[in-house]
Amino acid sequence: MFQKKVKNLLKRLIDSYRKLSYQEKGVYTVEHIPVIEVNPDLDFLLLELPPRYIPMMPNGVGYVNNILKNCGIRFQTIDVNVIAYHQFHSQRIVEKKPITTKGGYTMKEDPWDNANTSEWDRQEVIKYFLEKMEDLIRGIVKNKPKAVGISVQANSRKLANEFIKILRSRAAEVTIIIGGYDCVYHYIGPFLVPDFDYMTIGDTELTLEPLVAGLAKGERPKDLPGIISRYDSPGRKWVPTPLLEDLDLIDYPKYEWIDQTLYKNYKGDHLVPIVSSRGCKWSRCHFCSECFTFRKRSPGKVVDEIEFWTSLKFSVFHFNDSDVNGDPQYLHDICSEIIKRHLKVTLVGQLRVDKHNNKEYFKHLSNAGFCHLRFGVDGWSDGVLRLLRKGYNMNLVTQNLRDCHEAGIYTTINIVLGVPGETEDDINDVIENLVRCKDYYDVVEGINTLILGSGSEYYKHPEKFKIRFRGDKDEIYRKNPYFIHTDLWYSEEPYIDQSVRIKRLDKICNELYKQRINIGGFAERVLKNLKEKGVDENV
């Protein structure tokens, strides 16, 4: 009898233990975290520095890695970000305590989470991770690759600039090449990352090979299309990056430099990025800084990529397209091919409000695996939609949201406030429409006040929209090539500055809370920053 009781007790304990998460057990999901080692005799070392959102795979570096494979050089790709991520969380979970810097600052549970990107603005956090990267730095100093390529985007920018300072002081002979999302425009990249030998602008499939091949031979190429360098001729006229028209000519990333199963977060979740198209088919929104030529891959090629990853037991995919339905029939054909191949997948993406989006269309997307779609509505009244030049009205917005939601797809939205010409009546209409449509969307994922970002129509032609500046316009533009800080501009007729935007934001959010409309974590962070600092930190 006693033995039976003990046996039952042990069984209950074992069952309870099995139900615990890895974090509660004090063990980690990844058994073998790679050690960073720089290979000798490299022509090129490609790095992805932290932070970059995990569990998303780094598809930008993946495409560059594919280019390097065809260059006939000795190269190595190291995703420092994913290694640092697992080092951080394995220590936190196994030791069952938060990670604290030497200066005594206790970091957030997950600094890589989209809601915690402000962690990477803290100098003590940057210093903590740079110290963790000492083996990488020593390897570069010791083995002296001819060139080091660094991918940079908004969240990793501060750490990348500090990393470059260290390389300059300890490995001055190494050529530094910068690329990534911070290098979309040739007049912005050098402002964001000022210390470089070469900077590749935009897509690099047609520009990178001549550069790295020349560097491998000991040359110092100059005046190359799509590339800025400190070796360029004085007064050189910028030649833009050539446009790759046929995306089927390039292969998709396979991330073969590392065990792909490492691309999951500490909870075990994974997210495979898919780029079915580049650019934006609409490209007319006045506030947008990403109006690039729209190009797309063959539907079969896209599904070949998805099928490859399903063969490796990956099943969750995020379409990284600006608008996954930029060509509605194209997306329909991709979904048809997924269904035809009987692939069991979960798909996520952002799409545009469109007249082709009807009940049958969303049902087809749902049958293929789409479970979460984000609508870039932006304006929430007919007046604001016209001001933004979105190309649709609230009737179409309502129909799209309703049909998507009723197809069983998790439906999310965003809001942009404070655009030139917006009135208090518009704000009242925005509130009315958000409340009227509340049963057709699941969460407000993004709320932003307008950013005067480089490349947008507002930035390029401010006078046309009655945008005024507090100071000399030319001087402001010279010092702010990336975006104009909210303190430096306002619009007239009616008068709108950041204080007006925040008041309107408060008015809308109060009503959203009153109506118990769900605001997601990312939107919550933006709201907090706006109210505390009066600026949009989501830049």
pLDDT digits (tens, 9 = 90+) for 356-398: 999 999 999 999 999 999 999 999 999 999 999 999 999 999 9
CA distances from 199 to 3, 117, 208 (A): 72, 25, 10
CA dihedral sign, ordered 386, 388, 394, 399: positive
Provide the token pair at 440: 């057709």
Question: Does 370 share its domain with 484?
Answer: yes
What distance in Å separates the CA atoms of residue 385 and residue 212, rounded to the nearest whole number? 46
100 has which bridge partners?
A: 106
Question: Residue 307, exposed/middle/buried by CB under 10 A (0-12, 13-18, 19+)?
Answer: middle
Q: Is residue 262 part of a domain?
A: no
- Residue whose pair of structure tokens reads 């912005």 in the numeric block: 188
Worst-scoring range by mean pLDDT, 62-66, 292-296, 346-350? 292-296
Question: Does 478 share its domain with 388?
Answer: yes
Q: Which of 378, 450, 448, 438 is nearest to 411 (CA)?
A: 438
Band of residue 530 on the pLDDT scale cut at 50, 70, 90: low
What distance in Å separates the CA atoms of residue 380 and residue 430, rounded to the nearest whole number? 5
CATH of the domain at 90: 3.40.50
What distance in Å separates the CA atoms of residue 10 and residue 6, rounded to the nearest whole number? 6
Give mean pLDDT, residues 187-213: 96
Band of residue 10 on the pLDDT scale cut at 50, 70, 90: very low
Instruction: Give the predicted TM-score (pTM) of the model.
Output: 0.90
Band of residue 523 on the pLDDT scale cut at 50, 70, 90: low
**401 dihedral zone (left: phi>0; alpha: psi -120 to 50; beta):** alpha
Question: Does 173 share its domain with 316?
Answer: no
Pairing of strands 44-48, 272-274: unpaired
The fraction of the chain above a pLDDT of 70, given in percent, is: 92
Question: Does 170 share its domain with 310?
Answer: no
pLDDT tens-place string over residues 416-451: 999 999 999 999 999 999 999 999 999 999 888 999
Q: Which of 421, 202, 390 is nearest to 288 (CA)?
A: 390
pLDDT tens-place string over residues 131-143: 999 999 999 999 9
> For the chain, how many structural domains are there in total?
2
Residues 214/224, Cβ–Cβ less than 8 Å: no
Question: Does 386 share its domain with 279?
Answer: yes
pLDDT tens-place string over residues 67-99: 999 999 999 999 999 999 999 999 999 999 999
303: containing domain: 271-533
CATH of the domain at 318: 3.80.30.20
Worst-scoring range by mean pLDDT, 4-13, 231-240, 446-455? 4-13
Whether the predicted pLDDT of 18 surpasses 50: no
Provide the token pair at 206: 């047609």
pLDDT tens-place string over residues 339-362: 999 999 999 999 999 999 999 999
Give mean pLDDT, residues 281-304: 93
Q: Is residue 294 part of a domain?
A: yes
> Where is the domain boundary, 202, 229, 256?
229
Residue 131's identity, in one-letter code, is E
3-state secondary structure of 305: helix
Mean pLDDT taken over the chain: 92
The fraction of the chain above a pLDDT of 90, given in percent, is: 87
Give mean pLDDT, residues 103-122: 95
What distance in Å separates the CA atoms of residue 401 and residue 447, rounded to the nearest whole number? 17
Question: Does 301 share its domain with 200?
Answer: no
What distance in Å separates the CA atoms of residue 206 and residue 213, rounded to the nearest whole number? 13
Whether the predicted pLDDT of 535 surpasses 70: no
- Residue whose pair of structure tokens reads 């005024």 in the numeric block: 468
